[in-house]
Amino acid sequence: MSQSVTQEQENAAVLEPLSVELRNVFKFFNQEAAVQGVDLDVKQGEFFSILGPSGCGKTTTLRLIAGFETVDAGQVSICGQPMTNVPPYRRPVNTVFQSYALFKHLSVWENVAFGLKLKKIRKKELESRVNEALELVRMDGLRSRFPSQLSGGQQQRVALARALVNLPAVLLLDEPLGALDLKLRKEMQVELSNLHRDLGLTFIMVTHDQEEALSLSDRIAVMNQGKVEQIGTPSEIYERPRTAFVADFIGDTNLFEGEITGIEADNLQVTTKTGLKIVVARSESSPTDLSQSVTISIRPEKIQLSLYRPSIQINCFEGQLINVMYLGTRVNYIVELAQGKRITVTQPNTFGILPEPDMPIYAWWTETDGIPIG
C-alpha cells in the first residue's frame, strides 16, 4: 500500500510541478515568532493567495519567498531549487508592492526598462520587452508620462509591467490593490485575473481582503498568529472552514458554541450555551463524541426569515427584529432570538417593503446549512 501511495504522489508531482515550497519555515523578530512552522506548496501556474488579518505573518511569509527576509529555520525552494543564501536579485521572482515603488524622476517607459538596463540587456531586446510589457498592461499610450501624472490604477499597471518585463517564474503581489478606491480596485482585480490567465505565470498574492482572495484565487492559505489555519479552494475555505477563526474571518458568519447532545446516522444534535437546540448534518470531518464541545457556523445568507411561524420543526427559532440595514443589492437584518442570541441575516434586495425593527419574526435554516467545527 505504501509503495502505491508513494507512486501516486510522484505522479501528482510530475503532473503538477511546484513553483514554490515552504517546509517548516520559522521567522523571529526580537525573539517573537512572526512565522511559525509554515508549510506551503504552490503549484506552477497557480493563483495562490495568503490571506489573514494584520500582523498574522502573511507579508513576512511573502518577504521570505522574495528573499527580503532570511529564514531562521526551515527551507524555501523556488522551481525546485533551495533558496538558502540566494539574494533577492538572483531569485526567479519579482514583487509588486502596494506603494508601487516607482521612480518619480523616470518616465513610465524608463521605469519599466530600469531592471533590464541593470542586467545589460541588449538595446533591441530591451526595447521589445518593455514595449510588450506596456502593451500587456495597456499603458503603451502613456509611456512618456511620469508617475505624478498617473492615477493610482495606472501607476499599479506600470508596477506590474516593471515586474513582468523581467520574465519571472513567480510574481509576488504584496497587497497590490490596497491603495486604490473601491471601484478602481474592482477593475484592477479583473485586470489581474486576465493577466494571470493570459500569461500562465505563478501568482502569489498577500491580502487581507477576503472578497479579493475568494474572487481571484485558485487556492487560499488562511493565516493567523504566524500559522496556516487552512489551505483550500475558495469554495472549500468558505463552505467548509476547519476552524472557528477561518469561519469568522472569511466572510460573515454566526457562531453558536455548545456541545453535542445527540448523535444519529445523518445528524448531530447540539445544545448551545444559550439553550438553542440545533441540528446539523454529519460529515466525515464532523465531531462525533457526546458532550464534545463544538462550534456551529451558519452563514447569514443561509438563514431564512418569516413574519409567520413556518411549518418546519427543526432549526426554527422565534425572535425580534432589532435592526434593518439597507445595502443596495442586499439587506442585512439583526435578529435577537428568544434565547438572547443575536444573529445576522443577509437577504437579496427584492424591492419589497422592508419590515420595521422591533417586529416579532422567525428565523430558520436547514440541517445542511450549519457547519460543525470541533
Q: Where are the alpha helices (DSSP H) in 221-329?
A: 234-239, 244-249
Same domain, 153 and 273: no
Same domain, 317 and 355: yes
Same domain, 236 and 290: no
Q: Would you report the helix, strand and coil content of the chain in percent, each value rounded to 5?
A: 30, 35, 35
User: How far, rounded to the nearest angstrom, does the alpha carbon of residue 6 sit from its chain's CA centroid?
Assistant: 31
Same domain, 78 and 166: yes
Same domain, 266 and 240: no
Please report, for residues 114, 249, 346, the alpha-carbon distance to residue 254 in angstroms, rounded to integers and kept in the order given: 50, 11, 11
Q: Which pLDDT does position 7 carry in this prediction?
A: 46
127's CB contacts (< 8 A; 6+ apart) are none
Asked if 279 contacts 366 with a C-beta cutoff of 8 angstroms, the reply is no
Provide the domain limits for residue 105.
2-244
Length of the chain: 374
Please report, for residues 45, 276, 365, the alpha-carbon distance to residue 170 in angstroms, rounded to integers and kept in the order given: 9, 49, 44
Q: What is the mean pLDDT of each run of 10 residues along the chain (374 residues)?
A: 41 65 96 95 96 94 96 96 93 88 91 89 92 90 92 89 91 86 84 90 94 94 96 95 93 93 90 92 78 92 91 91 89 91 91 75 94 86
Torsion of Cα atoms, 146 then 151 then 152 then 155, to 10°: -30
Domain closes at, from 216, 244, 272:
244
Q: Which CATH number is 183's domain given?
A: 3.40.50.300
Q: Which CATH number is 355's domain given?
A: 2.40.50.140
SS3 state of residue 297 = strand
Max Cα–Cα distance, the chain, nearest Å: 76
The grid coordinates of residue 12 equal 501528482
Range 265-272, long-range pairs (CB < 8 A, 24+ positions): 266/367, 267/367, 268/294, 268/372, 270/294, 270/296, 270/372, 272/296, 272/339, 272/341
pTM higher than 0.85:
yes
Same domain, 310 and 215: no
Same domain, 334 and 210: no
CA distance 197 to 47: 9
Q: Which pLDDT does position 264 carry in this prediction?
A: 87
366's CB contacts (< 8 A; 6+ apart) are 302, 315
The grid coordinates of residue 121 equal 540587456
Asked if 337 contacts 317 with a C-beta cutoff of 8 angstroms, the reply is yes
Same domain, 198 and 289: no
Same domain, 120 and 178: yes
Same domain, 213 and 272: no
Domain closes at, from 226, 244, 262:
244
Number of domains in the chain: 2
Same domain, 232 and 185: yes
Domain closes at, from 214, 244, 274:
244
Same domain, 211 and 227: yes
Q: Which pLDDT does position 203 carry in this prediction?
A: 96
CA distance 9 to 142: 49
